Structures are given as structure tokens and as C-alpha cells.
Amino acid sequence: MPEGHSVHRIARQFERHFVGETVAASSPQGRFAEGAALIDGRTMTQSRAVGKQLFLEFDEALYLRVHLGIYGAWDFGGAVSRDATTRASRGRMGQTGMRGAADDTVVGEHEDSLASIGAPRRTRLRMAEQETETETFEGFPPEPVGQVRARLLTETAVADLRGPTACEVIDAAQVQQVINQLGPDPLVDDPDEGEERMVERVRKRRTPIGLLLMDQSVVSGIGNVYRAEILFRARLDPHIPGSQLSDETVRDLWRDWRYLLGVGVDTGQMLTMDDLDEEARARALRSRADRHWVYKREGLPCRVCGTHIVLEMAAARKLYYCPTCQR
């Protein structure tokens, strides 16, 4: 499932290429036909992410809410930009299993346009969790491919949505209802206020911190990868109840999440190892195997103490940790 940095990157793609534009909305699949009719022909006025939720605002205060879930994906085409990471991964952005950036790219800089491949050829890029190849096609817009739930089209760009958990048109009051149920997001909330909210929501719960970090009502945007890595960076046992943690420990978790989320949005990769030299950083950007402390490293020696990393199931999700460093 996409984690917070992926959804923020998708929101930025809409901000760059759709906000301020009149949008033709349709549902090639048919399942979103009524919702598409409500926003068809309207101007997109804002794009923002809160945790794993995407809100696209249209004039007259209508919003398209999208939660990708496990299977959802956005495909962008036309005159849309991509950074070094999306070039290197051939269009896949912010994915758990994505390819890394190539050695000759500068991550987060020097954006170019997918339309520069040569009009009228365009390139379609996918922003989701599942591995997908970039493809070229003739003419614009391209014909919908597969089960497209919603298509958003301007004169120069197109976005196709497939397989989301949630895709609905709602009003401002309903948007606020959704947001009220979410924990703080470091890129949305005031940092100090968000920190206090997270401290309050963690400290009053006897639930293990390894589960609380995945609870979107406690803190927004953290998924399996960031959960494992944040806990290791804090040297915290994932089984410790939130009520047993000190205020300062929870504050440190918030601040680290704020830092890592920023890195993920900027680079497009969940880079969780700090203080890497130039060669090690290049390897980390290139390969997930060199990028994380514990995630997907079950049975391998801990990078710090040599103890084998443990994998166990926690609330039906895989939990990775070092039983020695995280006591």
C-alpha cells in the first residue's frame, strides 16, 4: 500500500499540471459515472494529500476523494513532468518495491517533461505500489487501458485511476469529517501542534507502539516500511505499549517521521539510512537492499549488532525488527 510520501508526490503532480485547468471527468469503466458527471467541466482549484488520502478540489467546493488502498494506481500522461527517480524507475513513484535511481541522475532536481519524447508521442507513467512499465503511445489523449475507474483530462494532461479503495465526490463538510478521523500529518499540520496530538494519542493507549504507528487515527501516512524503520532508528521494541513511552520518546518519533517523510517526498524513495558516504548513498538510491535497516531483511544480520532480523505478524501485517537493538 502506498505510504504517505507517495500520496504527497501524487498530489504535487496534480498541483503542477491540473490545478487551474478545466477538467473533463469520465469513468471509462462505468463504476464512477455519477461521480464523474458531478465534476466534469469544472476547474480543479486545489490538490492536497493528508496521510494516505488524496483530495482534489473543484470549483463550487466539490472534492474528489481517493484512497488507493492496496491495488489502486494513477497513470499520468501527456505534458507531465517527472524527476530523476521516476525516470530511473520508468514511471513508478514512491513504491515499496521500486527500482532505485540510476547513478547518473540527481534525485529531486532537473525535472523534464514526458512530452519531450517527441510530439505527438507521449509517455504514460504509473504512480502506485505495483510494478508497472512505462509505455509510449501515439496521439493525445490515449485510449483508456484496462479498468479505468476515473479519467481526468485537460488539454495537455491526463490522469487515469484504477482499482482504488475509495473514489467519491464529496463536499467540504464531508472532507473535514474524513480529516477529523486522521492523525496529524507532518506536511499538513503545524509541526508543534501535530507533535502534541501524536503524543496525546500514543500516551493514552496501551496498544503496542508497533501497531499505533500504523493506526492512521494516531499519526497519518506511516505504513509497513516506515513503521519498521522508525522503530529501529529509535531502538524501540515494537511491543512496548504506547502508555509506557515517555513524552520525549514520542516527540522523537514524530520528529523522525517528519524528517523521513520529507526525504521520501523529495527523493521518491523511502531512504531511511543517514550519514552515508557518497558511494553508499548511491547504492541506497539504486537498491532497496542497501536502503533500509530492517525492512525486508528477515534472517539477515542486523547492520549494527549482527543479530538476525526477526519477522513476525502483527495485526495481519509483517513486522520487522532487531530483537537485540530494539529491547
Alpha helices in 181-223 (DSSP H): 191-203, 209-212
Please report whether residue 96 resides in a domain.
Answer: no
Range of the domain at 42: 4-88+122-177
Same structural domain, 193 and 172: no
Same structural domain, 160 and 192: no
8 Å CB contact between 40 and 26: yes
Which one is catalytic: 2, 28, 141, 184?
2
Please report whether residue 115 resides in a domain.
Answer: no
Please report whether residue 275 resides in a domain.
Answer: yes
3 as an active site residue: the answer is: yes
The CATH number of residue 305's host domain is 1.10.8.50
Which one is catalytic: 3, 57, 129, 195?
3
Least confident range from 13-17, 79-83, 221-225: namely 79-83
Summarised one tens digit per residue, pLDDT across range 216-253 is: 999 999 999 999 999 999 999 999 999 999 999 999 99
- Give the three-class secondary structure for 280: helix
318 as an active site residue: the answer is: no
Same structural domain, 78 and 30: yes
Please tell me the predicted confidence (pLDDT) of residue 120. 31
Please report whether residue 290 resides in a domain.
Answer: yes
Which one is catalytic: 16, 204, 235, 317?
317
Task: Give the rounded percent of residues in the chain with a pLDDT score beyond 70.
Answer: 83
Least confident range from 48-57, 285-294, 317-326: namely 285-294
Number of domains in the chain: 2
Please report whether residue 298 resides in a domain.
Answer: yes
279 as an active site residue: the answer is: no
Read off the pLDDT band of 130 (50, 70, 90). Answer: very low
Please report whether residue 282 resides in a domain.
Answer: yes
Same structural domain, 298 and 194: yes
Cβ neighbours for 54, distance < 8 A, ≥ 6 positions apart: 7, 10, 11, 47, 48, 65, 66, 67, 68
Please report whether residue 103 resides in a domain.
Answer: no
- Of 177, 203, 223, the position where a domain reaches its end is 177
Least confident range from 41-45, 154-158, 285-289, 313-317: namely 285-289
Which one is catalytic: 48, 52, 288, 297?
52
Chain-wide mean pLDDT for the chain? Answer: 85
Same structural domain, 135 and 189: no
52 as an active site residue: the answer is: yes
Same structural domain, 197 and 164: no
Same structural domain, 153 and 207: no
Please tell me the predicted confidence (pLDDT) of residue 76. 85
Same structural domain, 150 and 13: yes
Instruction: DSSP letter for 308, please.
Output: B
8 Å CB contact between 127 and 94: yes
- Of 177, 208, 240, the position where a domain reaches its end is 177
